[in-house]
Amino acid sequence: MNEISTPAIIETATAGNLTNLVAERAWFEPERITMSRPLGDGWQPLTAREVEQEIRATAKGLIAAGIQIGDRVAIMARTRYEWTVLDFAIWYAGGCVVPIYETSSAEQVDWILNDSGSVGLIVETPAHKELVTPVLPHHTKHVWVMTEDVLATLRHAGDNISDEEVERRRNALVPSSLATLIYTSGTTGRPKGVQLTHSNFLSECGNVVEGASDLFLKPGGSTLLFLPVAHVFGRMVQIGAIHAGLHLAHCSDPVGRLQPDLASFKPTFVLAVPRIFEKIYNGAEAKAEAAGKGKIFRKAADVAIAYSEAQDKRGFNPLLTLKHALFDKLVYSKIRAAMGGSVEAAISGGAPLGTRLGHFYRGAGITILEGYGLTETTAGATLNLSKALRVGSVGRPIPGNAIKIADDGEILIGGPIVMRGYWQNDAANQEVFDGQWFRTGDLGRLDDEGFLYITGRKKELIVTAGGKNVAPAVLEDRLRAHPLVSQCMVVGDNQPFIAALITIDQDMLKGWIAANNKGGATVETLRNDPDLIAVIQTAVDEANKAVSKAESIRKFTILPTDFTIAGGQLTAKLSLKRHVIGEQYAAEITALFTK
């Protein structure tokens, strides 16, 4: 089977825009609790009416500041309540939102603000303001700071703006209007602005909500959002929650606050990248090992996996069922408690989860619905559903969309979720569009029931276990600029961080050896030399300045020999043969992530 499509549950929008999701909920269910904001160690519930009033008042402040219909306004912050309010407020004012990761470097902010032509920027903290001030282009006339009570500031600034003006602004937006410009890493280094319309999100979120209705439309359902809303995955669930009237809350500090926030908010489902599920599993195993119960935990894990696999076979094994019930009290209940105690399911994306973890969590009582998509497809193009689940796959197409496998195995996506195109980049558009089909650069296969399996990556973009897209060329080009570095290859696909293999320029090394009184030394004997490592670390530090922390090189190893054409590591054009290097230096790569 080379192509599969599914009928739309929600037809492509022919009128309206994303602001209607907020306005109509406030009109029809004004007292429904739709959001909660942090309040001390607890939460302050907000009704649909209160949320709409705050968004509208914030929009008035933006209008008073001179934001015009179609203007781009950037947001640089962690996931938090204000992010969602400002996202919708910019739309209420008729604008377009440009997300920027709060970990972005000044160089990245500079590029995004200039390329997008953003007239305003909202940063999270004074430290962010200090970072961006030296690179602010002349057209970015306004900078607001979230932690300086930005919502109150804008509310007061908009006192003289009428409701009629807000209505005029938001009603001027049609389905084809640009909703957001999301900058995604490209293999050439410069991030490209992905143009997503109101129609893209209305189609994506409407069909995801209806398809996964047991999550989004569950009576009393809720979700705690802790992934970056700057990423299209988090944005999709944010808008999906608003669309569904799902009770939404935010955790801005997943490292320090996730556990207590899960415990106090008790969401019924969450979305996360595989790294989160790995950390919960590894943490539970380490805790059991420390308590002398490691053997019990591993046995429980095996039973959970077997129990999940048995569900697919529709068989009933009385002994397995009995073991599962026993371990549910001893182990699985603690796993569920670590996620708040009420989570029944989760959506996973951004990187492959792995069959073993998928079966473990389902066996432990938390069904993980793995999906697949890109920024260019408004997040999910495929998704496993509770009623249509195949662990190890990334599901079937989201209703209304189609998946096709090209002759070379590349996954092509078609449907109303596909972006309008890259911002001001016709050359890139010509590369990725095949008629109405979007070329993903990923390789995959469809099984006999239409479930998609990812089999590889045609493109060079690295995706970490945390779901971060990393363009290796940015780092590699900068590293090679150092005189002692000959070649380098950035690695980290499906790993928790980015690392690098580095080779040394033999000619330059001779001078360094003489200058540092290391006569008789060779690359082989210097690989672990503290002085050489320190010099290469300075090159790594310089390269890291161009990227965010999540994209930065954390570890590196110096190889004993250079990459060459004769050795098979380089093409005739001296391009890296990544798959060859990956195979030849598999042990060194593994060591980088296991030491």
Asked which of 195-204, 262-271, 351-360, 468-477 is least confident by mean pLDDT, the reply is 468-477
Helix (H) or strand (E) holding 474: helix 472-480
| pLDDT per residue as tens digits for the range 576-588 | 888 889 999 999 9
What does the buried/exposed string (b/e) look like for 416-438 if buried means 16 or more CB atoms within 10 Å of the residue's CB?
Answer: bbbbebbbebeebbeebbeeebb
Cβ–Cβ < 8 Å for 377, 438: yes
Predicted local distance difference test score (pLDDT) of residue 459: 67
Mean pLDDT of 567-576: 72
Residue 189 φ then ψ, to 5°: 105, -50
Residue 573 has pLDDT above 60, yes or no: no
Express each pLDDT in 144-168 by its tens digit: 999 999 999 999 999 999 999 999 9
Q: What does the alpha-carbon distance between residue 419 and residue 5 come to, in Å, rounded to a whole number? A: 18
Residue 451 pLDDT exceeds 80? yes
Q: What is the pLDDT of residues 395-411, one digit of tens each?
A: 999 999 999 999 888 99
pLDDT the model gives residue 574: 67
Which of 298, 269, 271, 268 shows the shortest CA–CA distance to 282? 298
- Considering the chain, what is the average pLDDT of its residues? 92
| pLDDT tens digits, 503-561 | 998 878 888 898 888 888 888 888 999 999 999 999 999 999 988 888 999 999 999 99
pLDDT above 90: percentage of residues in the chain: 71
Q: Which residue has the higher pLDDT, 209 or 286?
A: 209
Residue 8: pLDDT band with limits 50, 70, 90: confident
Three-class SS of 48-85: HHHHHHHHHHHHHHHHHCCCCCCCEEEEECCCCHHHHH
pLDDT of residue 273: 83
229-239 average pLDDT score:
94
Residues 398-425 have a mean pLDDT of: 94
Tokens at 24, concatenated: 């109509």
> CA angle at residue 412 from 434 to 244, to 5 degrees?
115
Q: Please, what is the angle between helix 19-28 and helix 81-92, to 10°?
A: 100
Q: CA 437, 441, 442, 444: dihedral to nearest 10 degrees? A: 50
Confidence of residue 187 (pLDDT cuts 50, 70, 90): very low
Cite the DSSP H helix spans in 316-410: 318-327, 333-338, 355-363
Residue 376 sits at the vertex; the CA angle it makes with 372 and 382, to the nearest 5 degrees, is 25
Rounded to an integer, what distance in angstroms lies between the CA atom of residue 13 and that of residue 202?
A: 7
Q: Which of 218, 313, 306 is nearest to 269 (CA)?
A: 218
Four-CA torsion 208, 213, 218, 222, nearest 10 degrees: -10
User: What residue has token string 């009770």?
Assistant: 247
b/e for 316-331, b at 16 or more Cβ within 10 A? eeeebeebbeebbeeb
pLDDT at 62: 98
Per-residue pLDDT at 188 exceeds 70: no
Strand-pair partners of 421: 195
Higher pLDDT, 246 or 259: 246
397 neighbors 338 (Cβ within 8 angstroms): no
pLDDT for the residue 96: 98
In the predicted structure, residue 100 carries a pLDDT above the cut 70:
yes
Give first-to-last CA distance, the chain, whole Å: 43
**Lowest mean pLDDT segment, chosen from 140-144, 289-293, 299-303, 358-362:** 289-293
177/68 Cα distance (integer angstroms): 14
Q: Is the pLDDT of residue 185 over 70?
A: no
* Residue 275 vs residue 250, higher pLDDT: 250
pLDDT at position 265, please?
96
Radius of gyration of the chain (CA): 25
In sequence order, what are the residues at sequence separation of 6 or more whose Cβ sits closer than 8 angstroms to the Cβ of residue 274?
348, 350, 351, 352, 353, 354, 357, 465, 467, 494
User: What is the mean predicted confidence (pLDDT) over 491-514?
Assistant: 90
Q: How far apart are CA 346 and CA 212, in angstroms?
A: 11
Q: Quote the percentage of the chain above a pLDDT of 70.
A: 98
Beta carbons of 143 and 120 less than 8 angstroms apart: yes
Domains assigned to the chain: 17-173+219-267 (3.40.50.12780), 274-462 (3.40.50.12780), 471-594 (3.30.300.30)
* Long-range Cβ contacts of 431-438 (<8 Å, 24+ apart): 432/376, 437/404, 437/412, 437/413, 438/376, 438/377, 438/412, 438/413, 438/414
| Alpha carbon distance 505, 502 (integer Å) | 10
